[in-house]
Amino acid sequence: MFTGIVTDVGSLVRASAGGDIRRLTVKCGYDAATIDVGASIAVNGVCMTVVSRAPGEGGGAVFDVEAGPETLAVTSVGDWQAGTPLNLERPLKLGDELGGHLVSGHVDGVATVVGREDIGETARFTFAAPGDLARFIAPKGSVALDGTSLTVNGVDGARFDCLIIPHTLAATAWGRRRQGDRVNLEVDTIARYVARLFGPR
């Protein structure tokens, strides 16, 4: 489990395909000694398993993860190119502060940035959600977008907007997001289960 509080912005070093698997090499600021092979890291909101790791040149670490067909089908992983900035988060430990909201890293689909309005030091982003996911998004509710826990300000059909504060713009990849970008969307877990329980009624 994660919290949607990004702890590092890494970058994609390279991506290579082998059969139906896409192997990704990510450079980050984490200490390589603290990353175990088999551990989970949320990469732009996608919970991925570390399959190898090594110290990075000049510090930090380089680690490899693999994306299978399901991940490639429902996330933006297939869009990532060398140099793509990636929001990273290590898993939540029992007893850690839950600063955002509970995030599983199981992305539900891809939303598209349809507008960005810079308001002083903040930025209001408007997103278009896939139609089947729009019903899970509510004003003042939580969503995880590219692994960042955000509060929904308003909803209009399949569109919704979030106001991103200066710290988040500076400490994550959001400062570089523009209209037309595709971002990984994970709806709030509680909303998903409530809809499942009451949907048939």
- With cut-offs at 50, 70 and 90, classify the pLDDT of residue 13: very high
Tokens standing for residue 113: 């940035």
On whether residue 113 sits in a domain, the answer given is yes
On whether residue 165 sits in a domain, the answer given is yes
Q: Quickly count: other Cβ atoms within 10 Å of residue 48's Cβ.
A: 21
Higher pLDDT pick, 134 / 194? 134
Look up the domain containing 134 and give its range. Answer: 109-198
Whether the Cβ atoms of residue 88 and residue 28 lie closer than 8 Å to each other: yes
On whether residue 1 sits in a domain, the answer given is no
Shared domain check, 142 and 171: yes
Indicate the helix (H) or strand (E) that contains 67: strand 61-67
What is the number of structural domains in the chain? 2
The whole-number pLDDT of residue 201 equals 54
C-alpha 14/C-alpha 26 separation (Å) is 7
**Per residue in 117-132, pLDDT tens?**
999 999 999 999 999 9
| Three-state DSSP state, 85 | strand
The H-assigned helical ranges of 6-146 are 69-74
Q: What is the pTM of this model?
A: 0.93
Burial 90-103 (b: 16+ CB within 10 A, else e): bebeeeeeeebbbb
Whether the Cβ atoms of residue 152 and residue 182 lie closer than 8 Å to each other: no
